[in-house]
């Protein structure tokens, strides 16, 4: 089976062929501009020493500095960072954001480190990476990192350089020059892009049955937004538990229940549900908001939903994607559906550079407008090329913008 990097690269070649992208540009984008791997020695609380593998990949800086993504997870490897950096380049370009794709991180399990060990590891990542600053490469948060991690990384960067430079790191807290709206940007964006897609196919939101895999930062905020819009969220599955209710779940109550009980289990008036059952359940909208590669061809054969909204990165394999499109399922692809956070990072940078900070309403409205516009442009591109796949529309638009920048710079 193809891995994530092979699938993303194949998708790029497919889009490049349809979009008639200059072959020299495609060759340039087939591998990252820069990829670095390094080792971080760390003194543990008990006095022992450990060494952690770390990486940073900058896919292309044709449109602007590479940005985003510092993942801390046990199995992280260089190929995963390369695939994610390519996807970030596409996500930025599809959203008309003047940035390239960056992704990196550390192979470590944050849950197995003490708070102090974790802080020292985040700070050491910046010392050993030696990022070249806000005009070159800007790390942001990803799985395993949050606002606090990014605050430590920014502080470390500023300690080293001796300059205050809030735009050197993204996803930092507002008090250090970050932006409002960080926690909810992706989850609300998922709903907003879904809404734009639903309008295009005259899909009625009121009473629509929604099933969501993942109830973390993205899945829980999206679930609240679906419910607020009149949809019925009938199923939610997390890593260790899942619940189904024919008449719809009360999302706020479910969040309170998990807070108190530590899992979704035994939420009143619900039945347990597994991941497989959730994917095959009788819903109108399916939202994978947890892991990549979960909707395989075998799973896709059982999907009953009319709309698939990819909140997670690359949750659908290319084979499953083709099968679902042929069955008439509308797929709202990851590079558009979960782009709320990249638009927010762009606003974070704009505010930081201008030293002028915006209110929550301005940020919310800007995010919605940018996301909806990107979706409409990708859908138009797909239509122009007589494609069912809005994903290919987004990738073609993105590659065309990167191509224009590469040619203008005289690189090809």
| Residues recognised as catalytic | 103
291 binds ligand NAD (CB under 6 A): yes
| Residue closer to ligand NAD (CB basis): 60 or 213 | 213
312 binds ligand NAD (CB under 6 A): yes
The residue from 338, 346, 351, 389 that contacts ligand NAD (CB under 6 A) is: 338
3-state secondary structure 147-198: HHHHHHHHHHHHHHHCCCCHHHCCCCCHHHCCCCCCCCHHHHHHHHHHHHHH
| Residue span binding ligand NAD (CB under 6 A) among the ranges 132-140, 197-205, 210-218, 356-364 | 210-218
| Residue closer to ligand NAD (CB basis): 29 or 188 | 188
| Residue span binding ligand NAD (CB under 6 A) among the ranges 45-53, 256-264, 305-313, 349-357 | 305-313
| Residue span binding ligand NAD (CB under 6 A) among the ranges 117-125, 202-210, 216-224, 367-375 | 216-224
Distances (CA, A) of 209 to 84, 244, 265, 304, 373: 31, 11, 21, 11, 26
| Residue span binding ligand NAD (CB under 6 A) among the ranges 19-27, 96-104, 235-243, 396-404 | 235-243
The residue from 44, 201, 239, 360 that contacts ligand NAD (CB under 6 A) is: 239
7 binds ligand NAD (CB under 6 A): no
249 binds ligand NAD (CB under 6 A): no
User: By rule CB under 6 A, what count of residues binds ligand NAD?
Assistant: 21
8 binds ligand NAD (CB under 6 A): no
| Residue closer to ligand NAD (CB basis): 217 or 351 | 217
| Residue closer to ligand NAD (CB basis): 201 or 360 | 360
Q: Which of residues 250-289 bind ligand NAD (CB under 6 A)?
A: 275, 289
213 binds ligand NAD (CB under 6 A): yes
In this chain, which residue has its C-beta nearest to ligand NAD? 216
3-state secondary structure the chain: CCCHHHHHHHHHHHHHHHCCCCHHHHHHHCCCCEEEEEEEEEECCCCCEEEEEEEEEECCCCCCCEECCEEEECCCCHHHHHHHHHHHHHHHHHCCCCCEEEEEEEECCHHHCCHHHHHHHHHHHHHHHCCCCCCCEECCCCCCCCHHHHHHHHHHHHHHHCCCCHHHCCCCCHHHCCCCCCCCHHHHHHHHHHHHHHHHCCCCCCCCEEEEECCCHHHHHHHHHHHHCCCEEEEEECCCCEEECCCCCCHHHHHHHHHHHCCCCCCCCCEECCHHHHHHCCCCEEEECCCCCCECHHHHCCCCCCEEECCCCCCECHHHHHHHHHCCCEEECHHHHCCHHHHHHHHHHHHHHHCCCCCHHHHHHHHHHHHHHHHHHHHHHHHHCCCCCHHHHHHHHHHHHHHHHHHHHCCC
The residue from 89, 179, 270, 341 that contacts ligand NAD (CB under 6 A) is: 341
Residue span 115-154 as binding mask against ligand NAD, x where in contact by CB under 6 A, dash where not: ----------------------------x-----------
CA 408 to chain centre: 29
Closest distance to ligand NAD from the beta carbon of 275 (Å): 5
Closest distance to ligand NAD from the beta carbon of 159 (Å): 27
Neighbour-count burial of 357, counting CB atoms closer than 10 A to its CB (0-12 exposed, 13-18 middle, 19+ buried): middle
Closest distance to ligand NAD from the beta carbon of 164 (Å): 26
What is the rounded distance in angstroms from the CA atom of residue 61 to the CA atom of residue 45? 39
The residue from 32, 102, 166, 214 that contacts ligand NAD (CB under 6 A) is: 214
217 binds ligand NAD (CB under 6 A): yes
88 binds ligand NAD (CB under 6 A): no
| Residue closer to ligand NAD (CB basis): 26 or 287 | 287
| Residue closer to ligand NAD (CB basis): 168 or 278 | 278
| Residue closer to ligand NAD (CB basis): 14 or 275 | 275
| Interface ranges with ligand NAD (CB under 6 A) | 143, 186, 213-219, 237-239, 275, 289-291, 311-313, 338, 341
């Amino acid at each position: 089976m193809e891995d994530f990097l092979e699938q993303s690269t194949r998708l790029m070649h497919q889009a490049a062929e349809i979009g008639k992208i200059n072959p020299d540009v495609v060759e340039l984008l087939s591998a990252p501009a820069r990829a670095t791997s390094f080792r971080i020695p760390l003194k543990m609380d008990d006095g022992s020493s450990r060494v952690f593998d770390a990486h940073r990949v900058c896919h292309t800086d044709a449109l602007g500095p590479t940005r985003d993504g510092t993942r801390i997870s046990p199995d992280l490897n260089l190929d995963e960072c390369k695939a994610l950096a390519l996807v970030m380049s596409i996500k930025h370009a599809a959203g008309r954001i003047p940035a390239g794709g960056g992704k990196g991180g550390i192979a470590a399990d944050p849950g197995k480190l003490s708070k102090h060990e974790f802080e020292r590891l985040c700070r050491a990542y910046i010392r050993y990476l030696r990022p070249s600053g806000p005009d070159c490469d800007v790390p942001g948060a990803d799985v395993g990192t949050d606002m606090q991690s990014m605050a430590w990384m920014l502080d470390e960067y500023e300690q080293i350089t001796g300059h205050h430079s809030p735009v050197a790191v993204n996803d930092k807290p507002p008090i250090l020059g970050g932006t409002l709206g960080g926690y909810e940007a992706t989850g609300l964006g998922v709903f907003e892009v879904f809404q734009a897609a639903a309008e295009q196919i005259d899909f009625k939101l009121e009473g629509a049955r929604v099933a969501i895999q993942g109830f973390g930062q993205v899945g829980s905020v999206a679930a609240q937004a679906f419910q607020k819009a009149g949809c019925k969220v009938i199923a939610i599955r997390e890593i260790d538990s899942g619940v189904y209710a024919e008449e719809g779940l009360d999302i706020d109550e479910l969040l309170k229940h998990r807070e108190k009980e530590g899992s979704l289990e035994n939420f009143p008036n619900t039945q347990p549900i597994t991941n497989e059952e959730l994917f095959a359940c009788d819903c109108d909208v399916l939202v994978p908001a947890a892991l990549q590669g979960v909707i395989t061809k075998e799973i896709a054969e059982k999907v009953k939903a009319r709309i698939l909204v990819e909140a997670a990165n690359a949750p659908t394999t290319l084979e499953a994607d083709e099968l679902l499109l042929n069955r008439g399922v509308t797929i709202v692809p990851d590079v558009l559906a979960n782009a709320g956070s990249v638009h927010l990072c762009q606003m974070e940078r704009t505010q930081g550079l201008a030293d002028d900070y915006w209110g929550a309403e301005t940020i919310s409205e800007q995010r919605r407008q940018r996301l909806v516009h990107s979706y409409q442009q990708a859908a138009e591109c797909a239509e122009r090329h007589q494609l069912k796949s809005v994903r290919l529309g987004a990738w073609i638009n993105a590659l065309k913008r990167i191509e224009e920048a590469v040619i203008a710079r005289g690189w090809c």
